[in-house]
């Protein structure tokens, strides 16, 4: 009897000790104490700071900071702004589990900053909020990796901007091991980590791992000190989003989009590489705003999360090929479809403080350009870039005989004055600026807008079509077509019926930025029927002089 009482006392003591330990250290720490985790992968290292500790002296500032950050995360989720994101989720009526992953600027090849307890608290708050919204989340173990930075920055050929940051091979792990079909990627754009005024701007993107589609996209800001944060990225996001939403894509275009990738084209067709002076954060925000707006236009997901198949042409290749050829490296659109899993391609060119140019390409239809236009921002500087585009569209639409293009596939060819001095043209090519792009974009927009009426197609140039080298002009008659071709059938084999050969007369790259001359246009145009080799039309477009 005595022994039984002693044993009972011992059991009670052990239970009491365990109770105290659990209360003091928390379950997770006990678990780690009892079951130390296996070694962590080497790359990349996310080094969380120590969890806030309870100090017996009564100092609870760090605990407060943690708690408030956690509350901030919860606020984000339960905010009205986030409700739109949830609405997109709820609209799918799915019940699959999700993985929440913080990625920040990983998609641009930028390593994560060291995480703190504040970051942990924020994510806990997000989790809390999501669970309260009946979202099923899977606890992450140790087998979801982020991609190596070298895949973004040092690859040859270079990858296009902003790729999916999670190792694609781990998608199947997530689906199988975690039984999760979705992953929520979130970027902490800006934040105030103070205890008194915790604030944050977060971008979230939901991706269906089964289809690799972006299901939802939203930027949420929470906290009382938002106004004090750096709002550049936020503004880029908003101006793009609003510009696009203010001028939705045509419904007939939208209806045909089902697997579309979005890539930033910048001035790749001139430089071959990205040369933006914006931060990665802002550049990503531009694309995020674009995606958010695009998703808002259509009920069903149609934008592909890009993670592979977006390799760019080598920069030096652009020197020798037709100007403004698509920067993707592929020879055929079928190859693009195969490699990327996309059927349409939206290329955007952000013009700082002015607007954004969009071009939608149907990869399944040999690169037919479905849409081309600019979207000016609400507050804009009215730069020459968009103005030139609009000028070309306006003027060109007034007089151009689009009926000549009926049932044709048209490719734009920049000829300039190669016949006069081909070496100079080749040298100048690397110094071309955005105005050259804007000019051809204006021509494209004008032609695409009128294409439904006259049933023709403007084709995006993808395959490398070489220009004549300077020595190829020697000993031959004057004013040869600049393309290195033996016969027109070679070009027809690529699916082209007509060349629109334009010669730009204004060397924009030599003008002073801001000069009004940048808004002038002076081009001559020839239409060449590739079936006969005949010049079917010739005209000029000039704001400088002449009878226009």
Partner 1 sequence: MIKRLLSVLLIFSVTLVLGEKSFSTQDPPMVYIYQFVSYDTTLFFLNDAPNKRERIAVNATSDYLTTSSSDILIVNSIDVRTITSIVTSAVARFSALKIAGESIQRRISSENILEMLKSSNYPVETDFIIIGEINILRGNSNSEPHYEIDLKILDVSRQEIINSSMIALSKPQINDLRNLVDQLVEDVVGNLISPFVSNIFLATDSTSTGKILWDTCVLRPVDDFVGSKKIQTDNKDYELVQQEPVPDPRISPALRAELARVNFNFGYDEIRLVKSVFDRYRPDTFLQGKYLLSIQVINNGVVEQFMREINLVALRPGIIQIHLEIPPPPVVVPVSGNLKISNLPIDVVMELLKASPTGQHQIDRVISTAKELDGHCENPDIKTEYNIKNRTVQYEGLYEGTYVLSTYGQSKVFFPGKQSVDLYSYTDTIKIDSAQTQHHKTLFGKNELGGREVVIYFNPFPNKESDTYKLFIQDSNSPIANVKNAGELHVFGVPTDFNGTFRVFKDEKHFTTLNIPRGGKKIYLNADLENETLSEVKPSDGNNEPEPFYGFFKRE
Applying CB under 8 A, which residues contact partner 1? 156-157, 311, 314, 316-317, 319-321, 329, 331, 335, 464-466, 469, 471-472, 484-486, 490
- CB count, 10 Å around CB of 27? 9
Name 243's Cβ contacts closer than 8 Å, sequence gap at least 6: 293, 355, 356, 375, 376, 377, 378
Residue 319 beta carbon to partner 1: minimum distance, rounded to whole angstroms: 8
Residue 316 beta carbon to partner 1: minimum distance, rounded to whole angstroms: 4
Helix (H, G, I), strand (E, B) or coil at 523: strand
Pick 450 or 490: Cβ nearer partner 1: 490
Residue 471 beta carbon to partner 1: minimum distance, rounded to whole angstroms: 6
- CA distances for 144 relative to 40, 102, 183, 411, angstroms: 11, 12, 11, 45
* DSSP collapsed to 3 states, 116-139: CHHHHHHHHHHHHHHHHCCCCECC
List, in sequence order, every residue forming a beta bridge with 223; answer none if it has no partner: 199
Pick 235 or 464: Cβ nearer partner 1: 464
Pick 119 or 311: Cβ nearer partner 1: 311
Q: What angle in degrees, to the nearest 10, is found between the helix axes of 280-297 and 232-245?
A: 30
Residue 64 beta carbon to partner 1: minimum distance, rounded to whole angstroms: 51
Helix (H, G, I), strand (E, B) or coil at 91: helix
Largest CA distance in the chain: 120
The strand pair at 498-504 and 522-529 is best described as antiparallel
Pick 125 or 309: Cβ nearer partner 1: 309
Residue 313 beta carbon to partner 1: minimum distance, rounded to whole angstroms: 8
Q: Shortest CA distance to 144 belongs to which of 37, 284, 40, 38? A: 40
Give the C-alpha separation, 493 to 141, whole Å. Answer: 53
Pick 221 or 324: Cβ nearer partner 1: 324
Q: Where does residue 25 rank: exposed (0-12), middle (13-18), buried (19+ CB within 10 A)? A: middle
Residue 270 beta carbon to partner 1: minimum distance, rounded to whole angstroms: 16
Name 541's Cβ contacts closer than 8 Å, sequence gap at least 6: 392, 395, 396, 521, 522, 523, 524, 525, 548
Cis amide linkage into residue 41, ω under 30° from 0: no
Pick 147 or 313: Cβ nearer partner 1: 313
Residue 501 beta carbon to partner 1: minimum distance, rounded to whole angstroms: 17
Q: Which two tokens stand for residue 397?
A: 């639409």
∠ CA(428), CA(518), CA(498), 5° rounding? 65
Helix (H, G, I), strand (E, B) or coil at 220: strand
Residue 67 beta carbon to partner 1: minimum distance, rounded to whole angstroms: 49
Pick 329 or 351: Cβ nearer partner 1: 329
Pick 486 or 547: Cβ nearer partner 1: 486
Pick 3 or 476: Cβ nearer partner 1: 476
Residue 154 beta carbon to partner 1: minimum distance, rounded to whole angstroms: 14
Residue 233 beta carbon to partner 1: minimum distance, rounded to whole angstroms: 33
Pick 466 or 537: Cβ nearer partner 1: 466
Q: Which two tokens stand for residue 419?
A: 């016949």
Pick 8 or 423: Cβ nearer partner 1: 423
For 152, phi then psi, to 5°, come to: -95, -40
Helix (H, G, I), strand (E, B) or coil at 494: coil
Residue 465 beta carbon to partner 1: minimum distance, rounded to whole angstroms: 8
Number of alpha helices (DSSP H) and beta strands (DSSP E) in the chain: 16, 14
């Amino acid at each position: 009897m005595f022994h039984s009482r002693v044993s009972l006392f011992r059991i009670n003591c052990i239970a009491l000790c365990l109770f105290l330990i659990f209360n003091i250290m928390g379950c997770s720490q006990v678990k780690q104490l009892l079951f130390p985790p296996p070694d962590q992968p080497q790359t990349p290292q996310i080094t969380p700071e120590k969890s806030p500790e309870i100090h017996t002296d009564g100092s609870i500032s760090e605990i407060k900071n943690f708690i408030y950050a956690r509350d901030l995360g919860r606020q984000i989720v339960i905010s009205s702004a986030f409700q739109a994101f949830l609405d997109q989720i709820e609209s799918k009526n799915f019940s699959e589990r999700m993985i929440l992953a913080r990625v920040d600027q990983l998609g641009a090849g930028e390593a994560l900053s060291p995480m703190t307890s504040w970051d942990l608290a924020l994510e806990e708050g997000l989790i809390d909020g999501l669970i309260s919204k009946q979202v099923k989340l899977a606890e992450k173990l140790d087998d979801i990796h982020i991609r190596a930075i070298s895949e973004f920055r040092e690859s040859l050929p270079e990858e296009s901007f902003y790729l999916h940051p999670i190792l694609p091979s781990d998608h199947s792990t997530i689906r199988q091991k975690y039984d999760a079909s979705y992953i929520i990627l979130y970027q902490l754009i800006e934040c105030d980590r103070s205890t008194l005024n915790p604030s944050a701007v977060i971008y979230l993107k939901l991706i269906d791992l089964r289809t690799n589609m972006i299901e939802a996209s939203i930027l949420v800001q929470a906290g009382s000190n938002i106004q004090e944060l750096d709002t550049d990225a936020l503004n880029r996001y908003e101006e793009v989003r609003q510009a696009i939403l203010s001028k939705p894509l045509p419904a007939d275009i939208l209806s045909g989009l089902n697997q579309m990738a979005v890539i930033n084209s910048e001035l790749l067709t001139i430089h071959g590489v990205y040369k933006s002076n914006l931060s990665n954060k802002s550049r990503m925000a531009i694309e995020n705003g674009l995606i958010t707006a695009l998703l808002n236009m259509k009920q069903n997901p149609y934008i592909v999360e890009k993670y592979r198949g977006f390799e760019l042409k080598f920069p030096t290749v652009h020197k020798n090929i037709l100007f403004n050829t698509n920067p993707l490296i592929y020879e055929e659109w079928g190859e693009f479809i195969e490699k990327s899993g996309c059927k349409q391609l939206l290329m955007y060119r952000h013009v700082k403080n002015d607007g954004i140019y969009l071009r939608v390409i149907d990869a399944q239809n040999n690169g037919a350009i479905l849409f081309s236009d600019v979207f000016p921002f609400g507050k804009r500087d009215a730069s020459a870039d968009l103005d030139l585009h609009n000028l070309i569209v306006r003027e060109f639409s007034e007089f151009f005989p689009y009926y000549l293009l009926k049932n044709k596939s048209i490719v734009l060819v920049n000829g300039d004055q190669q016949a006069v001095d081909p070496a100079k043209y080749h040298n100048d090519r690397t110094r071309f600026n955005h105005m050259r792009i804007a000019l051809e974009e204006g021509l494209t927009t004008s032609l695409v807008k009128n294409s439904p009426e006259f049933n023709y197609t403007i084709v995006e140039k993808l395959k490398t079509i070489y220009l004549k080298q300077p020595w190829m002009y020697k000993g031959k008659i004057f004013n040869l077509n600049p393309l290195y071709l033996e016969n027109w059938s070679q070009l027809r084999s690529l699916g082209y019926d007509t060349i629109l050969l334009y010669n730009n007369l204004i060397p924009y790259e030599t003008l002073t930025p801001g000069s009004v001359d940048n808004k002038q246009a002076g081009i001559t145009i020839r239409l060449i029927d590739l079936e006969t080799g005949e010049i079917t039309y010739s005209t000029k477009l000039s704001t400088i002089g002449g009878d226009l």
